[in-house]
Structure 1
Amino acid sequence: MHEIYGDDSGELIAAYDAVLKVVFFDMDLALDTYFHSGMQKLFQLANYDSLTSLPNRNLFHDRLAQEIKKAQRNESSLVLLLIDLDQFKEVNDTLGHPSGDLLLIEAAHRIRKCVREADTVARLGGDEFIIILPELNTHTHVERIALDIIQVLSKPYQLDNDIVYISASIGITVYPEDAQDIANLLKHVDQAMYVAKAEGRNRFSYFTQSMQQEAREKQELTNDLRQALVRKELHVYYQPIIGLKSGSITKAEALLRWKHPTRGMVSPVIFIPLAEESGLIHEIGDWVFQQALACVVDWQKRLGFVIQISVNKSPIQFEHPEKQVWQQKMKELGVPGNRINVEITEGLLFKQSAKTKERLLDFRNDGIEVSIDDFGTGFSSLSYLKQFDIDYLKIDRSFIKDLEKNVDDRALAEAIIVMAHKLGIRTIAEGVETEVQRDILKSCGCDFV
């Protein structure tokens, strides 16, 4: 009996062992498959953009490093194209992020079709894409690709029930002519892209050494601007605004000026864009507003002079929640809303973002009046005059300077005045320098100069 039991148990053990081998083999296979699947997912997450499925910044850097090494071995060149989608922020603000995502997916697809299979198209984030073009040696080929991209991106986008249009600004830099390392190549292509934007968008721009010098000067001036408030280099001057019927001064415009210690007077045309790009416009804008409030209080207290002061407000400031700061300061000083006039540009109304509408409504509720500055030079759409409660149109000086001898300028100025009055809006003419100009504007019914 003992031997029979031993034989049976041996068979059972052998059979059990065979079953375990199959089970463990299947488990190893399953674990191996699971491990590789997990690694693939981690690699995908680490190296590819989840929205467009294009290589992300991480993989782009790896590929650029590889292409630079290859170019060094082959003594060849490579080209970088940095693409920024113009008007993308407006799409996001007006239609929402889901529509913005649809646009990015379609834009990525269109860009990918413009280049070769061996070329890398990556998404750096937001609305920026970058392309590596290895072994592309002629400017003609580069420009053809850039123009193709600009053309395809400018075609309409169907985003659910909406059709939108955008454009693209492209910066171009070349290795090794412009730079020999990744950091400088990226810096240069970014500078070139911003030049394309500054020149009107919907175009491309090559990096040049002069851009590098301009970028250094711009950075130095921005750094100086950061210290300008502390060093008391910024000053506010007040331009009188005269009522044409009464001949009296009841308003003034606050004009910001910068007296640089070595450069002298720096034009607002130069330093205001720097303030906007760097974010300093919020701090500087608050300071100008507080200076204007202090002036209103001081003039009334010392001179008995009741006046309304106009303060320019940058579109960038409308994206910043400073309204409570302004309101609180007005309450602290006891300044009623109608003593302040906020000047905005046509471009701000043209965008018609929810934040803009909210801020303008807040101003109206606080009794603050609103003017459109430089009317006639921007996005002149009459529809926003109906949508927004505007108090004043400021007729741009370009219509005023030749008023005495240019019949067309006079006709345009008169047309603006008549239209504004029909809509219950008062008019202010900018840049009036002669009595003849004043008299012509008065005869046309203009309210202030």
Structure 2
Amino acid sequence: MSGHAPEPASSALLQALPQQLWLLDASLQPSLASPSLLDFLGLSLHELQTLGWRQIIHPLDRLEFDLRWQQALLCGRFEMDYRLRDAEGRYRWQLALAQALPSQAGQPLRLLGTHTDISARKEAEARLREADELWKLALESVGDGVWDWYIQEDVEIYSARILQMYGFAESEIKPSPSELDARTHPEDRAQMELDRAAHFAGQVPIYSNEHRVLCKDGSWKWIHSRGMVISRDAQGRPLRMVGTHTDITQRKQAEALIWHQAHFDALTGLPNRRTLRDRLELLLMAAEREGGRLALLFIDLDHFKEVNDTLGHDMGDALLLQAAERIRACVRPQETVARMGGDEFTVVLSDLTDSAEAEAVAQKIILAMAAAFHLHEERVFVSASIGISVFPDDGRQIEELFKHADQALYVAKGAGRNRLGHFTPDLQQAALLRMRLSNDLREALPQGQLSLEYQAIVAMGSRVICKAEALLRWTHPSRGRIGPDLFIPLAESSGLIIEIGEWVFQQAARQVLDWRQRLHPGLQISINKSPVQFRHQQGQADHDQWVATAQELGLADGALAIEITEGLLLEGDSEVNRQLETLRQGGFLVSLDDFGTGFSSLSYLHQYAIDLLKIDQRFVRNLRPGTKDLALCKAIITMAHELGLQVVAEGVETQEQYELLRSAGCDYGQGYLFARPLPVEAFEQLLRQGKA
């Protein structure tokens, strides 16, 4: 078959073959070429032999061809993709397969081979490679790093952006999936492998997982890894997977901050109300299951508001931080201490044997709070009131325990503060009574159940009645007389005090006008005003209207006095000061009630325009010659007169108290020695007498 044309039968056979057939000897001399091959090349067999086989191969493929051909001469098999020049001078990709023919001794080695045109496949692969490069470039341009994982070969190629993301140079990371897998945070590894396995199994169309990766500098970076298997073998096993890494560290930090802010107090770092409820729910379930006991402690700082208002919010915050540390130091590390807001804290004590353990912790907290707080250069004192409820004795549900601890705290504060209170069924009844009274109070004014009584205030030198205090009374249709110490706080907490206070003013204003016109031209009526009325958003407008009403009635200056407590002045609110000035300029006098019982009382006399001081009855009650109470009363009276103020002593009940106060120079007295609070008709009869 050397240079001769094939026989007719052989020629027909070669013509029928779909592949291009060729026969080469060891020196690449073709001795046979099928018609389809010669037609493709545009050459005759002789021209091909003259040109040489290497010359029809693309120049860039010849070096690899030579190497593979030498290997084929040794092993008897040849396989390679290379480009072959066609009759028009273009190169097309061919898959060349050849096998050595059996030869007898002395015969030269020959390889019989075929060409299969694979240009379409090569073009498709080129397009895929181009597409790969395009989407990789697109992803890199938005900051994502790209990875390309050849799964069966255990090879993973990382883009430059991925390496840059973790601080590595290309030479520092091997192209293997185990490289970054080993740098995945141990807490995230299991979920990452589960998500990856789910995608490999076809359970989810896209692999998606968030995990932390250890960077070169030792820091952890949160990334979102997404990917997809793009090729599988005949058995469905994944062959190649491509995906991205997106740096989500900032997002995770923001989420962590938001979560922390939602669950912990920003000032103290303690759990907030929401986290407390979550933890308490778990503890209650465990206690229910195991037959255990736990206690809930509601803690309220006494006199914190005074510190906060007088020394400023920064100092108040510093006090709260120290208070939180003291409470934490009083309980075991595993116990929950939470801040409910303001100056309120909550402690949950678990695994208790009896309620005495909770009491011991509460007393420890009270003792810790009693020590001085050092706030920069200031030294201040507060105390703590604590309410306790116990599971399961006082309730089994969160709301029950909260409600009962709050009721116990209410009792502790009402009993004088700086103490603890336990929940009892009686407290529940008292709370129920307050709720019902609060509801009934809404109907008290429209149904005419409210009235005013007047208590005489006399001049100490003559005992002549010159003033009176208007006192609000509530006669309940079924419960009878309700004490003001019970219903006034209810009116304040519900906001009803605004409407009731307006009614009291209208009644007292018209009453003093009537008595001045008929009985006593110089009579003065004092009206108690709640701090709530000053803080009310319409407070200034209400007081403007009071001034207008007094002028319309023709009331002279000094006919009405407004009694306020030191609690109002503690706020140091410029709006409160403005409202007081409005009243004084409108002819109202301002009287400071319960003087001497508040916090830093003397400072108010410099800040506010006060006309009268009322000495609290606690100083008067035990008034005896040579007592500290007498010394205090004398000091208050002397100081007030030096400042141009008049003094009213409350709670005068004995002749001895009267004589001592009169000798001390007190201007006015009020108390049972002179007269009890009386209805309008009875007080009018007393007023006609002139003295009490």
Give TM class, smaller chain. 0.7 to 0.9
Task: Report the CA distance shift for 1:445/1:362 in structure 2 as closer, same or farther (over 3 A).
Answer: same
8 A contact 2:293–2:354 mirrored in 1:
no
The 5 Å alignment of 1:16-415 reads 17=132, 21=148, 22=158, 28-30=244-246, 40-41=256-257, 43-157=259-373, 164-244=380-460, 248-301=464-517, 305-321=521-537, 322-334=539-551, 335-346=555-566, 348-349=568-569, 352=572, 354=574, 356-376=576-596, 381-397=601-617, 408=627, 413=633
SS of corresponding position for 2:441: helix
- The aligned amino acid for 2:343 is D
Indicate if the aligned counterparts of 1:150 and 1:202 stay in contact, CA closer than 8 A: yes
**Residue type at the aligned position of 1:446:** C
Distance between the aligned counterparts of 1:141 and 1:393, measured in 2? 47
Cα distance in structure 2, aligned partners of 1:374 and 1:213 = 31
SS of corresponding position for 2:330: coil
**1:410/1:35 Cα in 2 relative to 1: closer, same or farther (>3 Å)?**
closer
Which structure has more relative contact order (CA 8 Å, sep 6+)? It is: 1
Shift in CA distance, 196/122, structure 1 to aligned 2, threshold 3 Å = same
Q: For 2:648 and 2:299, how far apart are their aligned partners in 1? A: 41
Query: Which of 640, 661, 672 in structure 2 is aligned with 1:420?
Result: 640
Secondary structure class of the residue paired with 2:352: coil
Query: Offset at 1:191?
Result: 1.0
Displacement of 1:188 after TM fit? 0.6
**Structure 1 unaligned runs (5+)?**
none
Q: Structure 1 pair 406/245, CA: closer, same or farther in 2 (3 Å)?
A: closer
TM-score by length of 1: 0.83
Contact 1:293/1:330 (CA < 8 Å) preserved in 2? no
Deviation string 1:304-340 (CA, Å, 9 cap, x unpaired) is 8343211122344443352431331331341354222
Partner of 2:92: 2
Structure with more helix by fraction? 1
Shift, 1:396, TM fit: 4.3
Counterparts of 1:396 and 1:157 in 2: how far apart (Å)? 29
1:209-248 deviations in Å (ceiling 9; x for gaps) = 2211221122222222232112211111223333355765
SS at match of 1:288: helix
Whether the 8 Å contact between 1:191 and 1:207 is mirrored in structure 2 is yes
State the distance in 2 between where 1:8 and 1:163 align. 86
Deviations along 1:64-89, one digit per CA (max 9) or x if unpaired, are: 22211111111111111222233333
More strand by share: 2
Q: Indicate the larger mover: 360-369 or 25-34.
A: 25-34
**Other structure's SS at 2:473 match:** strand
CA distance in 1, matches of 2:653, 2:370: 44
Q: 8 Å contact 1:400–1:431 — kept in the other structure?
A: yes
- Aligned equivalents of 1:160 and 1:432: distance in 2? 43
Q: Give per-residue Cα distances to partners, 1:280-315, cap 9 Å, x unaligned.
A: 333322221221112233334556834321112234
CA distance in 1, matches of 2:281, 2:613: 55
CA pair 32-316 structure 1, distance change in 2 beyond 3 A: closer
Q: SS of the counterpart of 2:93? A: helix
CA distance in 2, matches of 1:32, 1:443: 81
User: Root-mean-square deviation (CA), in Å?
Assistant: 3.7
Change (3 A) 1:286 1:115: same
Once structures 1 and 2 are overlaid, which stretch shifts more, 175-184 or 354-363? Answer: 354-363
Q: In 1, are the aligned partners of 2:294 and 2:390 still within 8 Å (CA)? A: yes
* TM-score, structure 2 normalization: 0.56
Between the two proteins, what is the percent identity of the paired residues?
Answer: 46
Shift in Å, 1:179:
0.4
CA distance in 2, matches of 1:392, 1:377: 16
SS in 1 for 2:384: strand
The one-letter code matched in structure 2 to 1:324 is: A
CA distance in 2, matches of 1:126, 1:398: 30
Structure 1 or 2, whichever has the larger Rg, is 2
Which whole-Å CA distance do the structure 2 matches of 1:247 and 1:151 have between them? 48
Query: SS where residue 485 of structure 2 aligns?
Result: helix
1:93 partner SS: helix
* Separation of aligned partners in 1, 2:276 and 2:620: 53
3-state SS in 2 of match to 1:83: strand
CA contact (8 A) 2:270 2:339 kept: yes
Judge conservation of contact 1:222–1:274 (CA < 8 Å) in 2: yes
Q: 1:96 to 1:372 in 2, by over 3 A?
A: closer
Gaps of 5+ in 2: 1-90, 95-118, 137-145, 149-157, 160-225, 228-241, 670-692
Q: Aligned partners of 1:41, 1:419: CA distance in 2, in Å?
A: 55
Give a deviation string over 1:409-449, Cα, whole Å, max 9, x none.
Answer: 76665554444333322233444567786666555543333
Give aligned pairs, total.
448
Whether contact under 8 Å (1:239, 1:255) holds in the other structure is yes
